[in-house]
Amino acid sequence: MKTYGVGVYGIGWVAGAHIDAMAQNPQLKIAALGSRSKETAEKKNEEIGGKARVASSFEEMLKMDDVDIIDITTPNVLHAEETIAAVEAGKHVIIEKPIAMNFKELVAVKEAIKKAGVKSQVGFASRWNPHIESLKGMIDKGGLGDLFFVEVDYYHEIGPWWSGYNWGANTRKGGPSATLAAGCHAVDLLRYFGGEVKEVFAYGCFGHRKDYEYEPTYAAVVQFENGKIGKTGNSFENECPYVMNIIIHGSEGSVFNEKFYSKEWFPGQEDWQTFSSEMLDSGDVKHHPFKGMMDDLVDVLNNGGECSNGIDSAYKSHELCLAIDRSIETGEKITIPLKEV
């Protein structure tokens, strides 16, 4: 059984969850750790039993022959540059979202990965949540019939309590927008359920919070390529527990978060039924299903193909995020595919 050496660069909140998930796959081995603070990497290495080498720089990690995969969990602003360097060094990549801060970077990342011919996986781990898997299976097997409306919203109060708040949430330099900071999780699921989007119109606003440099609340209406419609929204200033709101309507049934109604599968159904699967009800990364994401990458490395959240899919989710941002900024309907402006 082949083992793949992983170098994790950027040792913070999400890196710990990635490392825990990798430990559950016998084909993944943490070969190296690195961070802007070498002491942080050394401490994490002690926590995992001192099994990895500690790199003094990202460039040093790229030169390590026993590192097959680079896991990029650094601040958002560094993701594109480091991804391009990693794939040019012949490494497969795991990239925490967002993979780019703007459209130019997004195009450059995709082109670099394609040119290098390596495998890529992006951190939209929500796809492996049991409730999401149940919904996707229900859609694909016809339990809801033909979909005509899909809504996915991300509501999560984010403030100074989070260690990444200043470098990854509230500033245009670190965020750089509500879509790319976290709303992208809902955007990715919107595509996952409803298909590709051809146009979007969005509004953004500031509510009661004054500590964000961009609108922390937005709502976007989309039209899918098949002509059906949907919505995605986000707020970092809502005063309520974490919510990933999911509403789906089809010709044979509907979903309202934990509830479903399917005339196709349950013709005698008189009221909503309830999913008993684990829900997306926490923003804490330790609750995220990163194991499925890591297992998917290993399967692709073993058998070929592309990851569920590889660059082709991740590009389109980021493209839709940037289209939402562009609509908020210009007040215009934005057509996809995007073009540089």
- The domain segmentation of the chain, as residue ranges, is 4-125+290-309, 130-283+317-335
User: Do residues 112 and 95 lie in contact, with contact meaning Cβ atoms separated by under 8 Å?
Assistant: no
DSSP 257: T
Residue range 295-305: average pLDDT?
98
- Which whole-number Å values give the CA distances from 209 to 12, 159, 226, in the listed order? 26, 10, 38
- Position 174, amino acid: G
Question: What pLDDT does residue 284 have?
Answer: 82
CATH fold of 130-283+317-335, please? Dihydrodipicolinate Reductase; domain 2 (3.30.360)
Higher-pLDDT residue of 284 and 175 is 175
**Nearest to residue 96, comparing CAs of 108, 109, 107, 112?**
109
pLDDT at 180: 97
> What architecture is domain 4-125+290-309?
3-Layer(aba) Sandwich (3.40)
To the nearest whole number, what is the mean pLDDT of the chain? 96
**Residue found under tokens 């890196």:** 15
What is the per-residue pLDDT across 188-205, written as a single tens digit (0 to 9) for each? 999 999 999 999 999 999
- Asked whether the whole model's pTM tops 0.75, one would answer yes
Q: Which helix (H) or strand (E) holds 9?
A: strand 4-9
